[in-house]
Amino acid sequence: FKNIYLYLFLLIAFCPAGIYFSWLGGIAEHKFVSGIGAGMILPNIINPILKLNSAKYLSEQFVGEVFTVPGAVLFSIGVLSKKVRNEPMYYAWLGAAILHVFIIDSSIHLDYYLMFITPIISIFMGCAVASILYESGHNSKYYCLIYLSLLILILHDAVFLKEAYKLKDDYQMIGSDIEQRTRKNDLIIIANDSPELLYTSDRKGWRLHGDSLTPENVEELSSYGAKYFVPYDINDELMRYLDANYKKIIFPDGYFIYILH
């Protein structure tokens, strides 16, 4: 209690983050996205992990989103590194992060839930680099291997970001059309597992994806006030139902949304 620097560290570390998240909560939280833990995660805490489609999704995420081949090699070396064996908290952190991804990401298929595992993976990769350089002395071959791995990681990230921005441009275009053709307080339903279209259209509402894309769910949300349905990623059965029962607003680029009421 006598060391003032501990309290200063506490203030510097947590106060800016606390202020930021308080502000962020004020502009982002609303009733349509509340209760995720109690409503979606806790009731299904075991089942999603055991489902084949969830296992496939998680494997694709780890292979395609989390790791590259050099990254996986460096991570594996780091996990087995002598430098880390005396740091049990690193392994505890890794275990908790993996558990978090399996529980959360298997229930809610959104890429950004993977961000919680990336810091500890980076630490293990850094330990691998340090171990290789330490054990090799000043062997130029090992230095070249490290630099080559880092170059591959950088190029992979550059390609990944380019692809991500292509998708974001798509969201921006559709979102802009929705914003122009609907009113500010109109509630919408998006047929997508990601909420970006709600953000880019500056509208509130719900998202349906996978097994939840049914006429019954659309009608239920319509009764709650949803005025438009955005068929971004929709199955043929629901498309036929909507075509038979609702009119469309067709945008200049050929995309369209359904008018629910």
From 83, 118, 137, the end of a domain falls on 137
Residue 153 included in any domain: no
Same domain, 124 and 176: no
Residues near 142 by Cβ (< 8 Å), separated by ≥ 6?
132, 133, 136
Mean pLDDT of the chain: 80
Higher pLDDT, 89 or 85: 89
Same domain, 48 and 132: yes
Per the structure, the count of domains in the chain is 2
Distance of alpha carbon 259 from alpha carbon 189, whole angstroms: 11
Q: What is the pLDDT of residue 29?
A: 42
Q: What is the pLDDT of residues 211-248, one digit of tens each?
A: 889 999 999 999 999 999 999 988 999 999 999 999 99
**Could you tell me the residue range of the domain that residue 230 belongs to?**
168-259
From 137, 152, 177, the end of a domain falls on 137
Same domain, 252 and 211: yes
Cα-flanking dihedrals φ and ψ of residue 118, to 5°?
-70, -35
Residue 147 included in any domain: no
The residue count of the chain comes to: 261
Q: What is the DSSP string of 25-91?
A: HHHH--GGG--HIIIIIGGGSSHHHHSHHHHHHHHHHIIIII--HHHHHHHHHHHH-HHHHT-HHHH
Distance of alpha carbon 193 from alpha carbon 103, whole angstroms: 17
What's the average model confidence in pLDDT over 181-208? 91
Residue 182 included in any domain: yes
Q: Considering the entire predicted model, what is its pTM?
A: 0.51
Same domain, 196 and 113: no
Is residue 142 pLDDT above 50, yes or no?
yes
Residue 2 included in any domain: no
Same domain, 177 and 124: no
Which SS3 state, helix, strand or coil, does residue 230 take?
strand
Is residue 39 pLDDT above 70, yes or no?
no
In which element (H, E) is residue 165 found?
Answer: helix 140-181
Residue 232 included in any domain: yes
Same domain, 215 and 131: no
Residue 244 included in any domain: yes
Same domain, 188 and 121: no
Residue 25 included in any domain: no
Residue 144 included in any domain: no
Q: What is the pLDDT of residue 71?
A: 77
Q: What is the pLDDT of residue 37?
A: 62
